[in-house]
């Protein structure tokens, strides 16, 4: 990052202690969102100065593919947007603004991903991390200067409404926010307090109450964080070059440090991205110009470095966003005012060969990923058939709102199943009886019936609509037939 960029970032975070300011060049990120077609839009929050800012819009004609500018290429926000969060259905987006202490709400166009301002509501000075519950009902925002979490209800129109009380204490320099996939717990990093706070969420009102203990220690300068899609682990990136890893109790959502409690990454680690299958984790290291890469143990949640442990990327990588199909990540490069595209291989390793940085605004900042909308299963089948007769099951009416249906998983209720790309299945029943035929479909990005959520980001907004069942009666063969 050149001297001008460093000065702008220092002005933006002027309330931090001097040593935090030096490391804070590594905070930042990107947000992705789905549109009504198979294309996606990559949102980059540009926050190099406290009194101006914008969101850059980059289209992804192929999910996980190369970004390209949209028309218009950006939307002015004012006040330096920090982080962006979207509702799971992709209809609304929210951006924080640190210096004025504001939260901007937008409607997301279903046709092209463009943003229309809805409202601007008050938050604390240093408004930073933001996250929306998976059900889209509540929003939480971490404000660094007062060290509090602001809590809002989201109306049907997408406008956030402050709860009563409007905020609850967190810790010194409240920074990042993550929500458990079940929506019952909220976790907040306290940048200057070297801790992570944990809260219970009231299911009716959304109000936060501290768990016991209210905070747990982390390495110095905790920043970005994410939750494993299975809801069992929390990972906290710190600007001092560590990831703190925690188990999440299945009963009450409380945190417990893993063993080991931390793993080493590069200096300036500020964000966390996890693949939809929960197998791999990545964090950008803003002071090392690298992205670290890890495998996640499926049983314990512990991290182990891949080889190499880190790959070089654009100058000053700050935030990181996972493509919903899990095949690419996008890292903001503050030192180049750009975004870098990295491909994820079958073994989880990142590849940067041939990937040129794409221009963004000044000082990219933020961290969250947007939703891929799940498919809808449709099935046509007879109600009654004869034993031994070929039965035709037709799922060609199945659809996907932002892509296409690619896989059809059949279970015919008699112990026989089939999984593949065939929308029409033919099956014979050998015995009379009543059978439940079940179809589950998956789209071109691997999204199906299960929501995949990593704390701020819905990678797959799956639902029961991806599954359909039919009861079928199999009668004895006709006499003499």
The model's pTM:
0.91
Separation CA 45–CA 74 (nearest Å): 10
Partners of 156 in beta bridges = none
> Looking at residue 3, what DSSP letter applies?
H
Separation CA 141–CA 189 (nearest Å): 11
Domains of the chain: 3-370 (2.130.10.10), 384-475 (2.60.40.10)
Q: What is the mean pLDDT of the chain?
A: 88
φ, ψ at 44 (rounded to 5°): -120, 120
What tokens were used for 112?
A: 């092209």
Q: Taking the CB of residue 390, how many other CB atoms lie within 10 A of it?
A: 9
What string of DSSP letters covers 429-444?
A: -SS-EEEEEEEEEEET
Separation CA 366–CA 47 (nearest Å): 9
Q: Catalogue the E-assigned strands of 172-207.
A: 174-179, 185-190, 195-201
Strand order in the sheet with 102-108: 81-86, 92-97, 102-108, 115-122
- Measured between alpha carbons, how far is residue 287 from residues 58, 133, 256, 425 in Å? 25, 32, 29, 55
What tokens were used for 480?
A: 């003499």
Separation CA 24–CA 404 (nearest Å): 41
Strand order in the sheet with 280-285: 273-274, 280-285, 290-296, 303-312
- The H or E element containing residue 225 is strand 222-227
Separation CA 419–CA 113 (nearest Å): 33
What's the sign of the alpha-carbon dihedral 134, 149, 24, 9?
A: positive
Predicted local distance difference test score (pLDDT) of residue 37: 42
Helices (H), 358-419: none
What is the pairing mode between strands 338-344 and 350-351?
antiparallel
Q: Taking the CB of residue 169, how many other CB atoms lie within 10 A of it?
A: 12
Separation CA 37–CA 39 (nearest Å): 5
What string of DSSP letters covers 239-305?
A: TTTEEEEEEE-TTT--EEEEEEEEEE--TTB---EE-TTS-EEEEEETTTTEEEEEEE-TTT--EEE
* Alpha-carbon radius of gyration of the chain: 23
Q: 216, 210, 245: which is closest to 228 by C-alpha? A: 245
Q: 332-391 pLDDT, tens per residue?
A: 888 899 888 899 998 999 998 656 788 888 888 765 667 899 999 999 999 999 999 999
Partners of 442 in beta bridges = 407
Separation CA 1–CA 86 (nearest Å): 29
Q: 145, 146, 238, 259: which is closest to 194 by C-alpha? A: 238
Predicted local distance difference test score (pLDDT) of residue 49: 56
Q: Region of 388 please: left (phi>0), alpha (psi -120 to 50) or beta.
A: left
Q: 362, 321, 326, 331: which is closest to 268 by C-alpha? A: 331
Q: 397-409 pLDDT, tens per residue?
A: 999 999 999 999 9
Partners of 58 in beta bridges = 42, 69
- Measured between alpha carbons, how far is residue 99 from residues 26, 81, 259, 366 in Å? 18, 9, 38, 15
Q: 347, 204, 190: which is closest to 275 by C-alpha? A: 347
What tokens were used for 392?
A: 């035709």
What is the pairing mode between strands 372-373 and 458-461?
parallel
Predicted local distance difference test score (pLDDT) of residue 63: 74
Separation CA 342–CA 66 (nearest Å): 10
Instruction: Quickly tell me which residue has 């009416």 as its tokens.
Output: 397
The gap from C-alpha 32 to its chain's centroid, in whole angstroms, comes to 8
Task: Per-residue pLDDT tens, the chain, 481 aa: give them.
Answer: 444 333 333 223 333 333 334 343 333 344 443 333 445 788 888 876 556 788 888 887 777 778 888 888 888 887 778 889 999 999 999 999 888 899 999 999 988 888 999 999 999 899 999 999 999 999 999 999 889 999 999 999 999 999 999 999 999 999 999 999 999 999 999 999 999 999 999 999 999 999 999 999 999 999 999 999 999 999 999 999 999 999 999 999 999 999 999 999 999 999 999 999 999 999 999 999 999 999 999 999 999 999 999 999 889 988 999 999 999 999 888 889 988 889 999 899 999 865 678 888 888 876 566 789 999 999 999 999 999 999 999 999 999 999 999 999 999 999 998 888 899 999 999 999 999 999 999 999 999 999 999 998 899 999 999 999 999 999 998 765 4
């Amino acid at each position: 990052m050149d001297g001008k960029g460093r000065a702008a970032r220092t002005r933006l975070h002027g309330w931090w202690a001097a040593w935090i300011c030096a490391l804070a060049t590594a905070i930042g990120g990107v947000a992705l969102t789905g549109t009504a077609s198979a294309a996606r839009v990559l949102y980059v929050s540009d926050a190099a100065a406290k009194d101006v800012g914008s969101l850059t819009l980059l289209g992804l004609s192929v999910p996980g593919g190369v970004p390209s500018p949209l028309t218009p290429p950006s939307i002015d926000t004012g006040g330096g947007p920090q982080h962006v969060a979207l509702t799971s259905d992709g209809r609304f987006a929210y951006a924080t603004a640190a210096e004025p202490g504001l939260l901007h709400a937008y409607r997301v166009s279903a046709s092209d991903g463009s943003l229309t301002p809805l409202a601007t509501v008050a938050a604390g000075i240093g408004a930073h991390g933001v996250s929306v519950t998976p059900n889209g009902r509540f929003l939480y925002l971490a404000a660094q200067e007062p060290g509090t979490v602001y809590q809002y209800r989201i109306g049907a129109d997408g406008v956030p409404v402050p709860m009563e009380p409007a905020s609850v204490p967190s810790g010194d320099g409240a920074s990042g926010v993550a929500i458990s996939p079940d929506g019952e717990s909220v976790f907040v990093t306290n940048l200057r307090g070297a801790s992570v706070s944990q809260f219970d969420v009231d299911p009716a009102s959304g109000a936060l109450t501290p768990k016991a203990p209210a905070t747990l220690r982390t390495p110095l300068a905790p920043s970005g964080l994410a939750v494993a899609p299975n809801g069992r682990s929390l990972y906290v990136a710190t600007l001092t070059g560590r990831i703190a890893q925690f188990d999440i109790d299945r009963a009450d959502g409380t945190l417990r440090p893993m063993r080991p409690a931390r793993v080493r990454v590069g200096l300036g680690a500020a964000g966390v991205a996890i693949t939809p299958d929960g197998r791999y984790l990545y964090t950008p290291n803003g002071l090392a110009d690298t992205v670290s890469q890890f495998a996640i143990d499926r049983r314990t949640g512990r991290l182990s470095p891949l080889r190499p442990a880190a790959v070089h990327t654009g100058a000053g990588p700050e935030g990181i966003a996972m493509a919903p199909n899990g095949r690419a990540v996008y890292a903001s490069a503050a030192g180049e005012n750009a975004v870098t595209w990295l491909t994820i291989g079958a073994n989880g390793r990142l590849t940067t060969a041939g990937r040129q940085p794409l221009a963004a605004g000044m000082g990219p900042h933020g961290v969250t990923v947007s939703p891929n909308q799940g498919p809808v299963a449709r099935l046509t089948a007879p109600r009654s058939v004869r034993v031994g007769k070929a039965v035709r099951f037709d799922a060609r009416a199945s659809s996907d709102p932002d892509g296409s249906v690619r896989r059809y998983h059949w279970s015919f209720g008699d112990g026989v199943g089939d999984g593949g790309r065939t929308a029409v299945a033919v099956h014979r029943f050998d015995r009379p009886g009543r059978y439940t035929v079940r179809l589950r479909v998956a789209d071109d990005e691997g999204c199906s019936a299960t929501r995949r959520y990593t704390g701020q980001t819905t990678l797959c907004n799956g639902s029961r609509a991806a599954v359909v069942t039919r009861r079928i009666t199999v009668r004895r063969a006709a006499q003499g037939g």
